[in-house]
Structure 1
Amino acid sequence: MQPTISIPKHWDYPRFALEQRTQQGIILGLQYYPNGTELAEQFGDGWRYALMPNKNSDELFHFQESQIQPLSPEELLSEITAEIEFYQQQIAILQQQLAAITGGSTNG
Protein backbone atom coordinates (compact mmCIF):
# COMPACT_ATOMS: atom_id res chain seq x y z
CA MET A 1 0.00 0.00 0.00
CA GLN A 2 1.35 3.42 -1.00
CA PRO A 3 1.64 6.05 1.73
CA THR A 4 -0.66 9.03 1.24
CA ILE A 5 0.19 12.67 1.84
CA SER A 6 -2.68 15.13 2.14
CA ILE A 7 -2.11 18.72 1.09
CA PRO A 8 -4.61 21.33 2.30
CA LYS A 9 -6.78 22.65 -0.52
CA HIS A 10 -5.66 26.25 0.05
CA TRP A 11 -1.99 25.35 -0.55
CA ASP A 12 -0.47 25.20 -4.02
CA TYR A 13 0.46 21.71 -5.13
CA PRO A 14 4.26 21.12 -5.13
CA ARG A 15 5.90 21.29 -8.54
CA PHE A 16 8.54 18.67 -7.69
CA ALA A 17 8.36 15.22 -6.06
CA LEU A 18 10.45 13.44 -3.44
CA GLU A 19 13.48 11.68 -4.94
CA GLN A 20 13.12 13.66 -8.18
CA ARG A 21 16.45 14.41 -9.86
CA THR A 22 17.01 18.09 -10.71
CA GLN A 23 19.87 20.33 -11.88
CA GLN A 24 20.56 21.12 -8.21
CA GLY A 25 20.43 17.52 -6.96
CA ILE A 26 17.99 14.93 -5.63
CA ILE A 27 14.96 16.12 -3.67
CA LEU A 28 14.93 14.59 -0.18
CA GLY A 29 12.33 16.73 1.53
CA LEU A 30 9.90 19.58 1.14
CA GLN A 31 8.23 22.13 3.40
CA TYR A 32 5.43 24.59 2.83
CA TYR A 33 5.62 28.12 4.22
CA PRO A 34 2.05 29.49 4.26
CA ASN A 35 1.53 33.14 3.37
CA GLY A 36 1.28 35.36 6.43
CA THR A 37 3.59 33.29 8.64
CA GLU A 38 6.92 34.40 10.07
CA LEU A 39 8.84 31.83 7.99
CA ALA A 40 7.10 33.00 4.81
CA GLU A 41 7.95 36.60 5.61
CA GLN A 42 11.59 35.67 6.21
CA PHE A 43 12.12 33.20 3.35
CA GLY A 44 9.16 33.67 1.00
CA ASP A 45 5.90 31.77 0.95
CA GLY A 46 5.33 28.51 -0.89
CA TRP A 47 7.27 25.28 -1.20
CA ARG A 48 10.91 24.92 -0.17
CA TYR A 49 12.89 21.82 -1.03
CA ALA A 50 15.81 20.07 0.65
CA LEU A 51 18.23 18.70 -1.95
CA MET A 52 21.37 16.60 -1.82
CA PRO A 53 23.74 17.56 -4.67
CA ASN A 54 24.62 13.91 -5.32
CA LYS A 55 24.18 10.56 -3.59
CA ASN A 56 27.69 10.67 -2.10
CA SER A 57 27.25 14.11 -0.57
CA ASP A 58 26.90 14.79 3.13
CA GLU A 59 25.50 18.25 2.42
CA LEU A 60 21.88 19.30 2.18
CA PHE A 61 20.79 22.51 0.47
CA HIS A 62 17.45 24.30 0.62
CA PHE A 63 15.86 25.99 -2.39
CA GLN A 64 12.65 27.81 -3.14
CA GLU A 65 10.60 26.18 -5.85
CA SER A 66 11.49 28.95 -8.33
CA GLN A 67 15.23 28.22 -7.86
CA ILE A 68 15.00 24.58 -8.95
CA GLN A 69 15.51 23.52 -12.56
CA PRO A 70 14.29 20.09 -13.70
CA LEU A 71 16.55 17.87 -15.77
CA SER A 72 15.80 17.55 -19.46
CA PRO A 73 14.66 14.10 -20.61
CA GLU A 74 18.11 13.59 -22.15
CA GLU A 75 19.92 14.52 -18.92
CA LEU A 76 17.63 12.26 -16.89
CA LEU A 77 18.19 9.36 -19.29
CA SER A 78 21.95 9.89 -19.11
CA GLU A 79 22.00 9.97 -15.29
CA ILE A 80 19.83 6.89 -14.90
CA THR A 81 21.75 4.96 -17.57
CA ALA A 82 25.07 5.77 -15.86
CA GLU A 83 23.70 4.63 -12.51
CA ILE A 84 22.40 1.37 -14.00
CA GLU A 85 25.80 0.70 -15.59
CA PHE A 86 27.54 1.39 -12.26
CA TYR A 87 25.31 -1.09 -10.43
CA GLN A 88 25.66 -3.71 -13.18
CA GLN A 89 29.45 -3.50 -12.73
CA GLN A 90 29.03 -3.88 -8.97
CA ILE A 91 26.82 -6.95 -9.50
CA ALA A 92 29.41 -8.49 -11.84
CA ILE A 93 32.14 -7.96 -9.25
CA LEU A 94 30.02 -9.52 -6.51
CA GLN A 95 29.19 -12.50 -8.75
CA GLN A 96 32.91 -13.05 -9.37
CA GLN A 97 33.60 -12.89 -5.63
CA LEU A 98 30.77 -15.33 -4.95
CA ALA A 99 32.05 -17.71 -7.62
CA ALA A 100 35.52 -17.56 -6.08
CA ILE A 101 34.24 -18.65 -2.67
CA THR A 102 31.78 -21.26 -3.90
CA GLY A 103 34.19 -22.71 -6.47
CA GLY A 104 31.62 -22.45 -9.24
CA SER A 105 30.25 -19.90 -11.60
CA THR A 106 27.19 -17.81 -10.98
CA ASN A 107 25.04 -16.49 -13.74
CA GLY A 108 22.64 -13.57 -13.19
Structure 2
Amino acid sequence: MDQRTKDGIILGLQYYPNGTELAEQFGGGWRYALMPNKNSDELFHFQESQIQPLSPQELFSQIRAEIEFYQQQIAIRQQQLGALGGGSTNG
Protein backbone atom coordinates (compact mmCIF):
# COMPACT_ATOMS: atom_id res chain seq x y z
CA MET A 1 0.00 0.00 0.00
CA ASP A 2 0.95 3.66 -0.15
CA GLN A 3 2.11 3.18 -3.76
CA ARG A 4 1.85 6.37 -5.80
CA THR A 5 -0.02 6.42 -9.10
CA LYS A 6 -1.11 9.13 -11.55
CA ASP A 7 -4.51 9.23 -9.80
CA GLY A 8 -3.24 9.24 -6.23
CA ILE A 9 -1.92 7.05 -3.45
CA ILE A 10 -3.16 3.46 -3.11
CA LEU A 11 -4.69 2.96 0.33
CA GLY A 12 -6.21 -0.46 -0.12
CA LEU A 13 -7.77 -2.95 -2.45
CA GLN A 14 -10.74 -5.27 -2.61
CA TYR A 15 -11.59 -8.24 -4.75
CA TYR A 16 -15.09 -8.49 -6.22
CA PRO A 17 -15.69 -12.10 -7.31
CA ASN A 18 -17.59 -12.61 -10.55
CA GLY A 19 -21.22 -13.49 -10.03
CA THR A 20 -21.64 -11.28 -6.97
CA GLU A 21 -23.80 -8.17 -6.75
CA LEU A 22 -20.74 -5.94 -6.31
CA ALA A 23 -19.09 -7.41 -9.40
CA GLU A 24 -22.26 -6.86 -11.41
CA GLN A 25 -22.50 -3.27 -10.20
CA PHE A 26 -18.81 -2.27 -10.38
CA GLY A 27 -17.10 -4.98 -12.42
CA GLY A 28 -15.37 -8.13 -11.21
CA GLY A 29 -11.76 -8.36 -10.15
CA TRP A 30 -9.50 -6.15 -8.07
CA ARG A 31 -10.58 -2.61 -7.18
CA TYR A 32 -8.16 -0.12 -5.71
CA ALA A 33 -8.98 2.64 -3.22
CA LEU A 34 -6.96 5.77 -4.00
CA MET A 35 -6.62 9.09 -2.22
CA PRO A 36 -5.71 11.94 -4.61
CA ASN A 37 -3.09 13.29 -2.17
CA LYS A 38 -2.09 12.99 1.47
CA ASN A 39 -4.16 16.02 2.48
CA SER A 40 -7.34 14.87 0.79
CA ASP A 41 -10.48 13.62 2.46
CA GLU A 42 -11.69 12.08 -0.81
CA LEU A 43 -11.38 8.44 -1.75
CA PHE A 44 -11.81 7.05 -5.27
CA HIS A 45 -12.11 3.47 -6.48
CA PHE A 46 -10.55 2.19 -9.69
CA GLN A 47 -10.43 -1.17 -11.42
CA GLU A 48 -6.97 -2.66 -11.79
CA SER A 49 -6.95 -1.86 -15.52
CA GLN A 50 -7.57 1.83 -14.74
CA ILE A 51 -4.50 2.26 -12.52
CA GLN A 52 -1.74 4.24 -14.20
CA PRO A 53 1.65 3.94 -12.50
CA LEU A 54 4.00 6.90 -12.36
CA SER A 55 7.06 6.93 -14.55
CA PRO A 56 10.37 6.61 -12.67
CA GLN A 57 10.97 10.33 -13.29
CA GLU A 58 7.54 11.32 -11.92
CA LEU A 59 8.03 9.13 -8.86
CA PHE A 60 11.51 10.56 -8.25
CA SER A 61 10.15 14.10 -8.57
CA GLN A 62 7.33 13.48 -6.09
CA ILE A 63 9.58 11.82 -3.53
CA ARG A 64 12.24 14.53 -3.90
CA ALA A 65 9.61 17.25 -3.33
CA GLU A 66 8.39 15.44 -0.21
CA ILE A 67 11.94 15.12 1.13
CA GLU A 68 12.55 18.84 0.56
CA PHE A 69 9.29 19.69 2.34
CA TYR A 70 10.25 17.65 5.40
CA GLN A 71 13.78 19.08 5.42
CA GLN A 72 12.25 22.57 5.53
CA GLN A 73 9.99 21.50 8.39
CA ILE A 74 12.99 20.15 10.31
CA ALA A 75 14.89 23.42 9.78
CA ILE A 76 11.90 25.43 11.03
CA ARG A 77 11.59 23.26 14.15
CA GLN A 78 15.33 23.56 14.82
CA GLN A 79 15.04 27.36 14.61
CA GLN A 80 12.10 27.28 16.99
CA LEU A 81 14.09 25.18 19.46
CA GLY A 82 17.05 27.53 19.14
CA ALA A 83 14.83 30.54 19.79
CA LEU A 84 13.58 28.88 22.96
CA GLY A 85 17.17 28.22 24.04
CA GLY A 86 16.25 24.67 24.86
CA GLY A 87 17.84 22.61 22.17
CA SER A 88 20.94 21.95 20.19
CA THR A 89 20.84 22.73 16.49
CA ASN A 90 23.66 20.30 15.73
CA GLY A 91 23.20 17.58 13.11
User: In which range does the TM-score fall when normalised by the shorter chain?
Assistant: over 0.9
Residue equivalent to 2:85: 102
Q: CA deviation at 1:37?
A: 1.1
Residue equivalent to 1:32: 15
Q: CA deviation at 1:88?
A: 0.1
Residue equivalent to 1:21: 4
**TM-score, L = length of structure 1:** 0.80
Structure with more helix by fraction: 2
Partner of 1:70: helix, strand, or coil? Answer: coil
**TM-score, L = length of structure 2:** 0.94
RMSD: 1.2
Residue equivalent to 1:92: 75
4+ runs of 1 displaced by more than 6 Å? none
Q: Which has the higher contact order (CA 8 A, sep 6+)?
A: 2
CA distance in 1, matches of 2:87, 2:50: 53
- Give the residue type in structure 2 aligned to 1:50: A
Residue from 26, 51, 58 that aligns with 1:75: 58
Residue equivalent to 2:45: 62
- Give the residue type in structure 1 aligned to 2:19: G
Q: CA deviation at 1:105?
A: 4.5
CA distance in 1, matches of 2:21, 2:86: 65
- Give the residue type in structure 1 aligned to 2:90: N
Report the number of matched residues.
91
* Structure 2 unaligned spans of 5+: none
Q: CA deviation at 1:104?
A: 6.1
Partner of 2:11: helix, strand, or coil? Answer: strand
Flag the 1:105–1:32 CA change in 2: closer, same or farther, 3 A.
Answer: same
